Amino acid sequence: MENLTTQVAIIGSGPAGLLLGQLLFKAGISHVVIEQRSAEYVAARIRAGILEQVSVDLLAQAGVDENLKKFGLPHDGIEILTNGLKYRVNLAELTQGKQVTVYGQTEVTKDLMHAREAAGLCTYYEAEHVQIHDFEESPTVTFQQNGQSYRLQCDFIAGCDGYHGVCRASVPQDKIKTFEKLYPFGWLGVLADVPPVSNELIYVQSERGFALCSMRSQTRSRYYLQVPSSDRVDEWTDERFWNELKNRLDDESRENLVTGVSLEKSIAPLRSFVTEPMRFGKLFLAGDAAHIVPPTGAKGLNLAASDIAYLSHALIDFYLNDSEKGIQEYSEKCLKRVWKAERFSWWMTHLLHRFETESEFDHKIKQAELSYILESNAGLTTLAENYVGLPYEIKTLNEIQGSRLDMIEY
Ligand code: RFL
Ligand code: PHB
């Protein structure tokens, strides 16, 4: 058994874990990242595509925005297609100039991994039998890699190990409450090297079900279809996928759609899930380890980023200012923002998807709500200000050092 020590043990090297590592490194706080998958697997995962302005700002503060500035596509609006008509939601106009940026989670992950490598920071990939111990008092993490056993002693554990991770699962049942809603459908996603059907994302509500036209660049597109949870990917040939997408689009988009060979095809289940609280003594949960949103609101990655903003502020305040205020308030602050994003994601999912079980009355009411939202300035503003991301303050290292967190209003 090899014994190791560090200040913060980070479990999981998804965007949450990697971003926390980078922010702690910048503040001179030691940490180790422990990841169960290989570096290649982590770098190849295809997931989210939309960054809120606050997430872009946080990546800039972490010093990992060089590629993001070069290749990210700022978007001022989105389109919503319903009943064969497209409505533009002018995000920038409705939110005093705010935008979202199209930049793949895969790229965010790679940028963070490169920064980590360049700084020579310690990551244990392909870690097996990862276990966390005694996190109320004196935390340790044990794991194995290449047949070698390790025991890592630390001040804190950051559980950034996603929905299926070991950290949340290690909390005794009577200390944790979970809230969950599973939807009876999933998203079938296809990535293809074809130009996007439109300059902006199109969210499609149709009688045949929801669809989303998104992109990664001017030459790479990402499309999604609502499919029943029981569907399997091998039932969906490329041809079937493109035909069904065409059936859900309007005439103009159908004509503009360029189809091609899929580079990746997968089905993601849709779920709303929240854990309360998000801190258990010296264990913090962050990102998908603590909450899941259905992707309709494009909020999952952005919520992981806001958790990490709060957590990095709290840890920096602890180590540099000797204050526990950020730590004490971590869970409450995160959950306040989490529940608002949960509400928005749930609302967008209900509004835009087809539910087999809904009555004709419910369906009519939903159509009326969508039509109200899209035709009223107040409705559009509600959608826009949630979509671009509810604001929170990102503190620089100097600001945290200069004024203890107990002086900062969130
Ligand atoms: P991740 O990315 O799941 O990373 C967790 C990491 O922990 C590792 N791990 C372990 N490591 C050690 N020991 C263990 N026992 C471990 N168990 C697990 C895993 O291997 C992994 O590397 O969580 P994180 O960092 O919290 O990041 C969250 C985001 O990945 C997620 O919320 C988003 O992808 C959600 N999401 C979207 N979010 C957005 O903000 N905008 C979007 O446009 C958006 N689109 C999406 C999405 C998610 C989707 N899927 C696949 C569900 C679109 C889709 C289709
Ligand atoms: C994506 O491009 O993967 C994407 C975009 C917007 C969403 C969900 C996923 O709401």
Instruction: Say which of 291, 295, 310, 353 is annotated catalytic.
Output: 295
Superfamily of domain 2-180+271-395: FAD/NAD(P)-binding domain (3.50.50.60)
18: confidence class by pLDDT, cuts 50, 70, 90: very high
Per-residue model confidence (pLDDT) at position 163: 97
- Our answer to whether residue 203 is catalytic in this structure is yes
Distance, CA of 127 to CA of 148 (rounded, Å): 10
405 vs 362, which has greater pLDDT?
362
Instruction: Name which residue sits closest to atom 5 of ligand 2, judged by CA.
Output: 49
Catalytic residue among 31, 282, 291, 299: 299
Q: What is the pLDDT of residues 119-136, one digit of tens each?
A: 999 999 999 999 999 999
Rounded to 5 degrees, φ, ψ at 224 are: -135, 150
Domain segments of the chain as ranges = 2-180+271-395
Q: Which ligand is nearest to the CA of 215?
A: 2
pLDDT of residue 403: 63
Which strands sit side by side in the sheet containing 262-276, from one edge to the other? 85-90, 77-82, 202-205, 211-215, 221-228, 177-192, 262-276, 291-292
Active site residue 295: yes
% of the chain at pLDDT higher than 70: 98
Radius of gyration of the chain (CA): 22
Percentage of the chain modeled with pLDDT above 90: 94
User: Active site residue: 103, 124, 203, 319, which one?
Assistant: 203
Whether a cis peptide bond, with omega within 30° of 0, leads into 277 is: yes
Q: What's the average model confidence in pLDDT over 157-180?
A: 98
In whole numbers, what is the pLDDT of the chain averaged over residues? 95
pTM of the entire predicted model: 0.95
Q: Is 33 in the pocket of ligand 1 (CB under 6 A)?
A: no
Active site residue 330: no
Residue owning the nearest CA to atom 7 of ligand 2: 298
299 included as an active-site residue:
yes
Tell how far the Cα of 16 is from the centroid of ligand 1, in angstroms: 8
260: pLDDT strictly greater than 90: yes
* Residue of the CA atom closest to atom 29 of ligand 1: 301
Q: Which of 100, 214, 383, 387 to mutate to test the pocket of ligand 2 (most atoms within 8 A of CB)?
A: 214
State the closest ligand 2 atom to the C-alpha of 348, by its place in the atom list counted from 1: 10
Q: Taking the CB of residue 405, how many other CB atoms lie within 10 A of it?
A: 23
**Nearest residue by C-alpha to atom 3 in ligand 1:** 162
Model confidence at 109, pLDDT cuts 50, 70, 90, reads: very high
